[in-house]
DNA sequence: GTGAAAGCGCTAACAC
DNA sequence: GTGTTAGCGCTTTCAC
């Protein structure tokens, strides 16, 4: 294995190591000819700067941490959710020569704080991307903020000033889905809400109400059931909703897993989807396109959101320019087989 | 944020930095009383050694890389597969104070080699866990081996001497599944094979044949279809198998996605599962328990396998003792709703 | 524009 | 058992 160091490159190029450093770090004040010489030497020797040496000297680690809820605890979030987040973050890291450290973390644990400060002090990441629902938990955010490590929150649910976050249009897209169902003739559209800890998910309920109103449909509490994001809770809510004397003709669940629970119950009860009942989810998890019938849902641009977050972090570590405000990357409706016209 | 260094600890404890280093690294030759003094100072100051400084001085990075097939390319491997691998690797890392770098990698890319050597030269990981199917691809293994970075292959499919790998009993468990189906009275048991690139998956076909033989059933080429691990290919194979004049009563697919494709086709064709057709998969992906009917499948101990692999790597980097041979962690049958007695 | 020297925080090798 | 001295490979001053 080649242990090419900056000295080797400097020797070959006939310059000082400082100049090599300048070229490698794309700093200004290098004559074009010199730059070319150095770049050629770098290529010839296949030189790669040593991350650790770089970090030690520069107090920058070229490391980004992706923080998300530990799926091993309750099997949520779903693996697809995490993988898409990782993909986006990795994309940003790769183009900028940063590495990604993943850190699933259980917010219910008493030791979250020491867990997080330990991680940060050991690895000194240049930035932390915090996925929902951790992104709106004080016990997660506060220890991180206390270390002065830059971070970006994903779908924090609420806006807060002085920091940067990336979200999507949860509320608007939930309204759009509701209007879409109404446009199919549905008048009794039920809603299964998710975990209230997840603020962005809570916004979907508001969107549902907006959508009803925009469609001239009344809001009825009997048409709203409280799930907890799991398949089982979706099934339980569906049973409760469907045994009503005047059952809904469409059910909109705040995530795909719960929608899958609805489909499961409908299958068991011999209710045809979408003939007798339309079902819509949220997330476009891998499940959504794989189950039968495939699920009409909302696709969140998770990779893009994570990529923007990581990109902002990398930018601020490179040139100190930290952004603030909230970037909104719009979600989109994915209409599939599980929704159709209201039965007549 | 505390920037406590080893000097601060040494000062407070009234010893030299070397002694602090010894205590922190659990090296021998420290008097118990001294050790306690130092440990107290470490706790009081909340000292955490700086990873980069450590790495630079010791040529060990306390970093483990998990390498797997890039799912963004063909949506395989499934996200559940990757997440379970990550969980196991993380478990090993966490207990030993190592960090995990994830590296999805596209083996079809011409630049795999420079991609991998670049990663290794930049981060100098103490070890690499290589997931299947990358674990049996020369274009992946060779560049890694050339860098002398310790690695462990997961489910390499074939054994090779002089190195350590962790696998499972693919062949035996596939035979067991086949015998299980036979024990339900099935005599026409079809098999849908997966990607031949994945050697461990190829072993499942051998297991299927073993199982038939052990059950006194003949092997028939017409009952074997070649899929490519995708849902679509499972569906296509199912259609081909089921339109036969004498169709199978059970279909065993080499992975869950293909089994889901079979179920999909059966649903469309109005074939009842498991009443008229039994379906079995392999992997116990999240899909398996979520679809209807839930899938009888094989659960691979992926987290345990990855954990053992990472653990071995960490051990060899700590004390230089590298293992070899193959550890086998057994898979187990998960009998669910999709299999039942043969129709009479 | 470029280079020389200092030092980031730690561990290795060797003294004591 | 414990401390001292050199670096690890880079970036950061600050000269030139």
B28: which 2 tokens? 């021998």
Question: Is there a contact between B56 and A53 if contact means CB atoms under 8 Å apart?
Answer: yes
Q: What is the pTM of this model?
A: 0.90
Q: How much of chain A, in percent, has pLDDT values that exceed 90?
A: 65
Q: What number is the average pLDDT over the span B237-258? A: 94
Asked if B105 is an interface residue toward chain A (Cβ–Cβ < 8 A), one would say: no
Distances (CA, A) of B16 to B8, B22, B52, B312: 10, 10, 21, 33
Q: What number is the average pLDDT over the span A323-334? A: 93
Asked if A51 is an interface residue toward chain B (Cβ–Cβ < 8 A), one would say: yes
Among residues B226, B224, B212, which one has the least CA distance to residue B176?
B212
B16 touches strand C (CB under 7 A): no
Q: Where are the domains of chain A?
A: 6-58, 63-168+302-330, 170-300
Question: Is there a contact between A263 and B292 if contact means CB atoms under 8 Å apart?
Answer: yes
Within window 12-51 on A, which residues have Cβ closer than 7 Å to strand C? 15-19, 22, 29-31, 33-35
B248: which 2 tokens? 């199978």
B342: which 2 tokens? 């043969």
Question: Is there a contact between A90 and B102 if contact means CB atoms under 8 Å apart?
Answer: yes
pLDDT digits (tens, 9 = 90+) for A168-182: 999 999 999 999 999
pLDDT digits (tens, 9 = 90+) for B21-39: 999 888 888 888 889 999 9
Higher pLDDT, B198 or A313: A313
* Test the B interface: residue of A89, A290, A310 with most B CBs within 10 Å: A290
Q: How much of chain B, in percent, has pLDDT values that exceed 90?
A: 64
CATH H-level, domain B63-168+302-330: superfamily: Response regulator (3.40.50.2300)
The answer to whether residues B77 and B86 touch, using CB atoms and an 8 Å cutoff, is: no
Q: What number is the average pLDDT over the span B275-296? A: 90
B29 Rama sector, left if φ>0, alpha if ψ -120 to 50, beta otherwise: left
Predicted confidence at residue A1, as pLDDT, reads 47
pLDDT digits (tens, 9 = 90+) for B305-337: 999 999 999 988 877 777 888 999 999 999 999
Q: What number is the average pLDDT over the span A209-233? A: 94
Asked if B292 is an interface residue toward chain A (Cβ–Cβ < 8 A), one would say: yes
For B118-188, strand residue ranges (E) read 127-130, 151-154, 164-167
Asked if A115 is an interface residue toward chain B (Cβ–Cβ < 8 A), one would say: no
Mean pLDDT score of chain B, rounded to an integer? Answer: 91
pLDDT digits (tens, 9 = 90+) for A131-158: 999 999 999 999 999 888 999 999 988 8
What CATH topology corresponds to B6-58? 434 Repressor (Amino-terminal Domain) (1.10.260)
Within chain B, how many helices (H) and strands (E) appear? 14, 12
Burial B125-163 (b: 16+ CB within 10 A, else e): bbbbbbbbbbbbbeebbebbeebebbbbbbbbbeeeeeb
Predicted confidence at residue A282, as pLDDT, reads 94
Asked if B71 is an interface residue toward chain A (Cβ–Cβ < 8 A), one would say: yes
Which CATH number does A170-300 carry? Answer: 3.40.50.2300
Q: How much of chain B, in percent, has pLDDT values that exceed 70?
A: 98
Lowest mean pLDDT among A1-5, A35-39, B212-216, B332-336: A1-5
Nearest protein residue to nucleotide C9 (CA to C1' distance) is B53
B17 touches strand C (CB under 7 A): yes
Judge whether A6-58 and A63-168+302-330 match in fold: no
Predicted confidence at residue B74, as pLDDT, reads 67
Q: In angstroms, how far is C6 C1' from A59 CA?
A: 16
Residue B1's pLDDT band (boundaries 50, 70, 90)? very low
């Amino acid at each position: 294995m080649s242990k090419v160091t900056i000295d080797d490159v400097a020797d070959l190029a006939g310059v000082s190591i400082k100049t090599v450093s300048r070229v490698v770090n794309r700093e200004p004040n290098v004559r074009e000819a010199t730059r070319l010489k150095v770049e050629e030497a770098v290529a010839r020797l296949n030189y790669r700067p040593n991350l650790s040496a770089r970090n030690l000297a520069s107090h920058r680690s070229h490391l980004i941490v992706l923080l998300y809820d530990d799926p091993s605890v309750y099997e949520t979030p779903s693996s697809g959710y995490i993988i898409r987040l990782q993909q986006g973050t990795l994309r940003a890291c790769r183009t900028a020569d940063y590495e990604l450290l993943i850190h699933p973390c259980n917010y219910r644990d008493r030791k979250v704080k020491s867990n997080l400060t330990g991680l940060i002090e050991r690895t000194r990441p240049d930035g932390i991307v915090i996925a929902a629902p951790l992104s709106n938990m004080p016990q997660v955010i506060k220890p991180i903020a206390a270390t002065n490590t830059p971070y970006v929150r994903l779908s924090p649910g609420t806006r807060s000033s002085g920091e940067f976050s990336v979200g999507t249009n949860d509320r608007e897209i939930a309204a759009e889905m509701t209007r879409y169902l109404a446009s199919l003739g549905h008048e009794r559209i039920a809603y299964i809400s998710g975990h209230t800890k997840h603020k962005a998910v809570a916004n979907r309920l508001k969107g549902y109400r907006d959508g009803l109103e925009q469609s001239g449909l009344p809001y009825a509490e009997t048409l709203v059931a409280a799930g907890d994001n799991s398949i089982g809770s979706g099934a339980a809510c569906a049973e409760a909703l469907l045994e009503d004397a005047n059952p809904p003709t469409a059910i909109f669940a705040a995530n795909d897993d719960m929608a899958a629970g609805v489909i499961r119950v409908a299958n068991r009860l011999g209710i045809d989807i979408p003939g007798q009942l339309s079902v819509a989810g949220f997330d476009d998890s891998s499940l959504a396109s794989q189950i039968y019938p495939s699920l009409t849902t909302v696709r969140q641009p998770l990779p893009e959101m994570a990529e923007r977050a990581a990109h902002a972090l990398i930018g601020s570590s490179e040139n100190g320019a930290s952004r603030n405000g909230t970037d909104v990357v719009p979600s989109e409706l994915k209409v599939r087989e599980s929704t159709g016209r209201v039965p007549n």
